[in-house]
Structure 1
Amino acid sequence: MKQLLFTLIIISILTGCKTEKQESKVVINELPLKTYFQNSHLPAVIMGYSNREGKMDWYAFGPSVWGGKDTINENNIFRIFSMTKAIGSVAALQLVEKGLIGLDDPLDKLMPEMTSIPILTSEGQLVKANKTITLRNLLTHTSGFGYDIFDEQLQKFDKTGWEYDDLPRLFEAGEKWHYGRSTDWVGRIVEKVSGQNLEDYFREHITGPLKMNSTWFNVPDKLKENIVSWGTRDSTGFKEYPRIPTKPTTEFIAGEGLFGSPKDYLTFLNCIMNSGKYDGGQILKSETVDLMFKDALPDGLTLNFGLPEEGLPETIGHFPDESDTYSLAWAIENNSKEMVRTTGSIYWAGVANSYYTLDRDKGMAIVYFTQFLPFNDKISYDFYRLFEKEVYTSLNKK
């Protein structure tokens, strides 16, 4: 009897040790983060990571409302801008899975208001396109649509008498990669094909099932006090914009329109990391998620923002790496000289200096949120990369 009791005690101890080791959390060295923030101009930052099992850890600095006394947290609500794009891409791919639209279907009949928009040549001439646009072109930013902030031609374009719903395209579909309003058109396609506006579609098929209850185009009144301060920074300091919207959004833009919390977005990334699965269902098939981690650009194209040959000013962060590629939703790390991320991991950002990384091989997702313009502030971008480095370093020590 004593021998049996002794054996059970030993088994219990060994099992307990094994369980403790399995459940041990990744420990981030917080000191470099605190030091960096204290020496920076940043008003507030919240950053966090999740493992494959959904365990989240958060690191917060500064108040949610500038000048306040609280500490910003993962349930505060941010304008996520282009981080909306990945959710819009998931919505479109859900429709593809249902057979309601094909990735390579010509869109001339479905979206004539889009495909009829002419191309602006480098000589300044407007010409009719010879190639049709497909959903794949839109999801990969190879449709020809751009942002005027990234293109001098579009900035100078005279819109007098212009009757189209967007600026001219810059090239034939599939010829180049150019970041722009392609995902805005994806959102319109989702609305037309599904018969729902994007707010309702996202709530029913993505944000609702994932319990992303702080993610909306129109933040419910009961949540508006969770919205953080935002503004712009120049050489004189920060200037705050109105924090809480005073008018409801009536046009839902899949490329930039959502508000959301860091916790919600990390929940979304965690679902993608787990091949579209969540507690209670699946938002995408695993084979569709696999496609989202593959280079979808034609003919060896890579990201091209037209960065100056002499390099960026010292105040600008190094986002993105133009040697990287793009999938149906986000950028793919492709640089063999990258010192932190695993090749094949994905990343993107929002214009108010928010960023994310997802590494399926390591089983790790990262979000980083600040809330000010202009985009790619070097101090903010470098803080994101520092946090990313600390997470990877901790993972490698396990």
Structure 2
Amino acid sequence: MSVCKVEVDPAELGFDAARLARIDTHFAEYVDDGRLAGWSVAVARRGRLAHVSHYGRRDVAGDLPVTDDTIWRIYSMTKPITSVAALMLWEEGLLELTDPVSRYIPSFADMRVYTGGSAANPGTVPATEPVRVWHLLTHTAGLTYGFHHAHPVDEMYRAKGHEFAPPRGQDLAAACDVWAGLPLLFQPGTEWNYGVNTDVLGRVVEVVSGQSLADFFRTRILTPLGMLDTGFHVVDTEHLATLYVPKPGGGLVRSSAMGDAITQPPTYLSGGGGLASTLGDYHRFAQMLARGGELDGVRLLGPRTLAYATRNHLPGNADLESFGRPIFAESAFAGTGFGLGFSVVVDPAAGKQLQSPGEYGWGGLASTTFTVFPEEDITVVFMTQLMPSSTYPIRPQLRTLVSQAVVS
């Protein structure tokens, strides 16, 4: 088990310990007033842990506390791991960012783009160029999510049984064929829309590597990094945090339908949202990123690859506010661009948040989040289990609370 323990006096790393403690005070109130059940946080700088805290309950009804070995559903924080997998294959010359996805998933040939009409009778035109690997990495393919409820194509996904997950029994290959048979929201590369892009990317990883996504993750990423409590299936349910949704009028209610899915062996391996992990495990993944692709002698990516992936890849250095569809996503839109699998801060002033250019990271549906601050050499990982992540402004508050504690 990867354990997070404070390794150094925060002052040695340029933190004010009293200011760091504001993180605990602030988020303890979330638990004390019933907004969250419990949480864990780890803040590190220059590769050393300066602050680790756990608070509240992983299961309220059972009165079970959050501990170092609590397992959390990380949902879309799976996406950076899948993106790293694809970048590893790119480094090995096994795929190109410009490759048409149809080279690996034939059903993605001859895609069509929505032009108008209802979900039952949409107008479409042929795509002017193929959906490419880089479109998947940047969420510019024109794919969507059924749970957005914002567009007729979203409705078409739901009509096929795809809202938060595919119908029971449908595997990743079959799901990709379903999505390929539906219209794109826009011509590839012309807009940004949060969707099943990274799930399709996971299928590309499977085809290119000849391994299932679970096997690739385990042999090439998770085991080498010592992330032994991360996976698509949680057997140790005793330490699994309960998934909650807000209860009307205040408090929390357990979400059994989605929460129990991780306890069953999966048919569908979701590179976009299927993993569970611990604070310690994901801290190791964040440290690998912050160290330029290497941790404890294990190198997954070269530093130039990681630097390239964590710059803004939206055309004209645009932010999501100007280039993205105004829908739910695991990031702020103003002042934030998108790289190859990560949101990237391009204009802190526009975002009206205490952040620095080049900060990157992502979050998950159950309000988890992580950020790498390259300028300050800081990583922060926050785990909790409240769905949806848009319920409270946890991420900007956490970013401010970490940043205000840096004094040198």
The interval holding the TM-score normalised by the smaller chain is: 0.7 to 0.9
Superposed, which structure 2 residues align to 1:280-319 within 5 Å?
280-304=297-321, 306-307=325-326, 319=331
The answer as to whether partners of 1:317 and 1:377 remain within 8 angstroms in 2 is no
- With over 3 angstroms needed to count, the CA separation of the structure-2 counterparts of 1:48 and 1:143, relative to structure 1, is same
- With over 3 angstroms needed to count, the CA separation of the structure-2 counterparts of 1:126 and 1:260, relative to structure 1, is same
C-alpha RMSD of the superposition? 2.8
- With over 3 angstroms needed to count, the CA separation of the structure-2 counterparts of 1:35 and 1:371, relative to structure 1, is closer
- With over 3 angstroms needed to count, the CA separation of the structure-2 counterparts of 1:78 and 1:31, relative to structure 1, is closer
Superposed, which structure 2 residues align to 1:78-93 within 5 Å?
78-93=72-87
Identify the range of structure 1 (173-182 vs 71-80) with the bigger mean alpha-carbon deviation: 71-80
Q: Deviations over 1:133-180 (max 9, x none)?
A: 211111001111111223321243385899942142111111111111
User: Does structure 1 residue 353 correspond to structure 2 residue 364?
Assistant: no
Secondary structure at 2:271 match in 1: coil
- With over 3 angstroms needed to count, the CA separation of the structure-2 counterparts of 1:282 and 1:319, relative to structure 1, is closer
152, 164, 172: which one pairs with 2:187?
Answer: 172
- With over 3 angstroms needed to count, the CA separation of the structure-2 counterparts of 1:354 and 1:23, relative to structure 1, is closer
53, 78, 99: which one pairs with 1:59?
Answer: 53
Superposed, which structure 2 residues align to 1:356-371 within 5 Å?
356-371=370-385
Shift of 1:267: 1.1
Corresponding residue number in structure 2 for 1:4: none
Identify the range of structure 1 (26-35 vs 281-290) with the bigger mean alpha-carbon deviation: 26-35
Name stretches of at least 5 consecutive residues in structure 2 with no aligned partner.
1-8, 163-173
225, 231, 237: which one pairs with 1:210?
Answer: 225
Percent identical: 26
User: Does structure 1 residue 232 correspond to structure 2 residue 251?
Assistant: no
Q: Deviations over 1:274-308 (max 9, x none)?
A: 00111122110111110122111124442155438
- With over 3 angstroms needed to count, the CA separation of the structure-2 counterparts of 1:153 and 1:86, relative to structure 1, is same
The answer as to whether partners of 1:295 and 1:326 remain within 8 angstroms in 2 is yes
TM-score by length of 1: 0.84
The answer as to whether partners of 1:356 and 1:366 remain within 8 angstroms in 2 is yes
The answer as to whether partners of 1:332 and 1:347 remain within 8 angstroms in 2 is yes
The answer as to whether partners of 2:312 and 2:346 remain within 8 angstroms in 1 is no
Amino acid in the other structure paired with 2:241: V
Secondary structure at 1:108 match in 2: helix
State which structure, 1 or 2, has the greater radius of gyration over its C-alpha atoms.
1
17, 34, 45: which one pairs with 2:28?
Answer: 34
Shift of 1:246: 4.8
Amino acid in the other structure paired with 1:45: W
Amino acid in the other structure paired with 2:239: N
Secondary structure at 1:275 match in 2: coil
Corresponding residue number in structure 2 for 1:157: 156
How many Å separate the matches in 1 of 2:329 and 2:80?
22
Secondary structure at 1:344 match in 2: coil
How many Å separate the matches in 2 of 1:95 and 1:206?
12
How many Å separate the matches in 1 of 2:203 and 2:329?
32
Corresponding residue number in structure 1 for 2:400: 389
Identify the range of structure 1 (140-149 vs 298-307) with the bigger mean alpha-carbon deviation: 298-307
The answer as to whether partners of 2:143 and 2:185 remain within 8 angstroms in 1 is yes
TM-score by length of 2: 0.82
The answer as to whether partners of 1:144 and 1:176 remain within 8 angstroms in 2 is yes
268, 283, 305: which one pairs with 1:251?
Answer: 268
Secondary structure at 1:55 match in 2: strand
Shift of 1:75: 2.4
How many Å separate the matches in 2 of 1:246 and 1:60?
23
65, 69, 72: which one pairs with 1:75?
Answer: 69
Q: Deviations over 1:178-234 (max 9, x none)?
A: 111111110000000000011110111111111011110122x3x332110013223
Corresponding residue number in structure 1 for 2:200: 185
Corresponding residue number in structure 1 for 2:386: 372
209, 212, 216: which one pairs with 1:197?
Answer: 212
Amino acid in the other structure paired with 1:390: L
How many Å separate the matches in 2 of 1:206 and 1:317?
26
Q: Deviations over 1:69-123 (max 9, x none)?
A: 3431342111111110000000000000000001112233322212344322234
Name stretches of at least 5 consecutive residues in structure 1 with no aligned partner.
1-18, 309-315
- With over 3 angstroms needed to count, the CA separation of the structure-2 counterparts of 1:39 and 1:66, relative to structure 1, is closer
